[in-house]
Amino acid sequence: MLTIEQQIERNAQRMPEKVALICKDTRVSYGELWERCCEAAKTLQNDAGFYKGKRVVLAAAGNAEFVYQYFGTHLAGGICVPIDPDTKPARREYIERIVATGAPSDGMADIMFTTGTTGAPKGVVLTHENIAASARNINAYIGNDADDVELLALPVSHSFGLGRLRCVLSKGGTMVLLGTFANVKRFFAAMEEHHVTGFGMVPAGWAYLKMMSRDKIRNYAGQLKYIEIGSSFMSVEDKKMLMEWLPNTRICMHYGLTEASRSAFMEFHEYAENLSSIGKAAPNVDIRIIDGEICVKGEHVTQRYWNESPKRIAQDFHDGYFRTGDSGWMDEDGHIYIKGRIKEIINVGGEKVSPMEVEDVLNAIPQIKESACCAMPDMVMGEVVEAFIVEKEPVTDAEIKEIIKPQLENYKWPKRIVRVDAIPKTSSGKIQRLQLKEV
């Protein structure tokens, strides 16, 4: 299987003048893209401190320079560690410290940090084979080709956005780098100017787009070939709305994790009778329900976390299948349904939040004796953080917000704070979050 870089090189040889990237007023051909990536690789290799397997932390801004550095790091033999440019200093320092230790293995491409159930960020190790297989599977389902012009308004520090970039460039399509859905006028202006044929979005982005522009997206029903949606819950009502507004668009929604990107897919029009399911296994992917848990196998699945022992990593697999931490069931036709999350990560519009991370910040507030957080349903974000606190002395919600504001990204802030007399725990002292949801 060719790596993504080898596929880009092939595209540069076959169609050097074809536009690969559009960023504001800049257009970058495939020939120029390959040249700039090679230049970035040489610059790294000429650095005295660089060596094969060196971990390179990249602020993943959605611009052409990041694209050059990302692929250039791979070409130089380095390992990319993409992070959000707005990452808080404490998290960035933690990540830099973690990746500075440990011995790399051959074939490693990226370390993508996600939040584990322990509260500390976990480094998901992805090989060149993992990411090439993922792009192959996604393109096979969605039907991407060289004629696609995609608008990217997702963060490239996350699996979804970075995956869309790899998918389009591996196929020889054109990627328009927008950055965010925040400026709706820019979004639709780009749709018009570049005759965009597809884009990816999270349900929270859809909720914002709908709120700010109502049904304007239906004006592009004859233009949009595909949309990929993922990362969190989307209501059946919103799915039906998109189906009505875009009757001829391939509207695909994925299920997956950073560890197993886009493991299942469903297309709204095809799954009109099964819109509450997450679809079926993606091409080249095997999904089984083992002991009530959704488990995944395929070339796209990670085989390790950074700096974790083989014994610890083995706990995340069952007979070679990666354990997703989601409970679910599969009907006789292969449609998969999620019952709930076994792991306690809170999914806020596609952003994964560890309850323990928020609790650590809350517990450091002098007026709070202890706290516990869990997911609370939200119409826009799917889930938001709900915090339960036991006070030592009175403290207002506003005071709490001011204290946590500089320490946590805003999507991690509790949407609701509930005062309780005690946090329910097991005899061994473990917080019983399922009981908190019933309060």
Q: Which CATH class is domain 4-341?
A: alpha beta
Which is more confident, 203 or 426? 203
Nearest to 203 by CA among 60, 352, 348, 374: 348
pLDDT, tens only, 239-252 = 999 999 999 999 99
pLDDT, tens only, 193-208 = 999 999 999 988 898 9
Q: 172-176, 206-210, 393-397, 422-426: which range is least confident on average?
A: 422-426
Distance CA 310, CA 392 (A): 43
Cα torsion angle, 44, 50, 51, 54, sign: negative
- pTM of the predicted model as reported, rounded to 2 decimal places: 0.84
- Predicted pLDDT at 285: 98
Nearest to 148 by CA among 249, 225, 201: 225
Is there a contact between 260 and 268 (Cβ–Cβ < 8 Å)? no
Residue 235: both structure tokens together = 């209501």
Which is more confident, 122 or 330? 330
| 346-436 fold | GMP Synthetase; Chain A, domain 3 (3.30.300)
Question: Where do we find the tokens 């801004």?
Answer: 61
Mean pLDDT of 199-223: 94
Residue 3 DSSP symbol = -
Which is more confident, 104 or 64? 64
pLDDT above 50 for 101: yes
Which is more confident, 439 or 91? 91
Which is more confident, 237 or 34? 34
Label residue 390 by pLDDT band (50, 70, 90): very high
Mean pLDDT of 412-430: 84
Burial 117-141 (b: 16+ CB within 10 A, else e): eeeebbbbbbbbebbbbbbbbbbeb
Domain extent listing, the chain: 4-341, 346-436
- Predicted pLDDT at 436: 82
- Predicted pLDDT at 386: 96
- Predicted pLDDT at 118: 44
pLDDT above 90 for 253: yes
Mean pLDDT of 317-326: 94
Which is more confident, 216 or 351? 216
pLDDT above 80 for 233: no
- Predicted pLDDT at 177: 98
Which is more confident, 382 or 118? 382
- Predicted pLDDT at 426: 63
Cβ burial, residue 218 (10 Å; 0-12/13-18/19+): middle
Mean pLDDT of 31-58: 96
Give me the residues paired with residue 260 across strands. Answer: 257
Label residue 292 by pLDDT band (50, 70, 90): confident
- Predicted pLDDT at 429: 59
Distance CA 377, CA 380 (A): 9
Which is more confident, 105 or 146? 146
Label residue 430 by pLDDT band (50, 70, 90): low
Q: 11-25, 90-104, 279-293: which range is least confident on average?
A: 90-104
Mean pLDDT of 377-404: 95
Mean pLDDT of 22-51: 96
Cβ burial, residue 210 (10 Å; 0-12/13-18/19+): middle
Which is more confident, 429 or 289? 289
- Residue 291, sorted as left (phi over 0), alpha (psi -120 to 50) or beta, turns out to be left
Question: Where do we find the tokens 């007399």?
Answer: 421
Distance CA 350, CA 233 (A): 8
Question: Where do we find the tokens 């293995």?
Answer: 105
Written as one letter, the residue type at 221 is A
pLDDT, tens only, 66-77 = 999 999 999 999
Residues 6+ apart with CB under 8 A from 373: 346, 355, 358, 359, 362, 385, 386, 387, 388, 414, 433
Q: ∠12-16-21 over CA atoms, to 5°? A: 80
pLDDT, tens only, 358-367 = 998 999 999 9
- Angle of helix 355-363 versus helix 397-404 axis, rounded to 10: 110
Mean pLDDT of 326-351: 86
- Predicted pLDDT at 301: 98
Question: Where do we find the tokens 């994964």?
Answer: 352
Residues 6+ apart with CB under 8 A from 183: none
Distance CA 8, CA 12 (A): 6
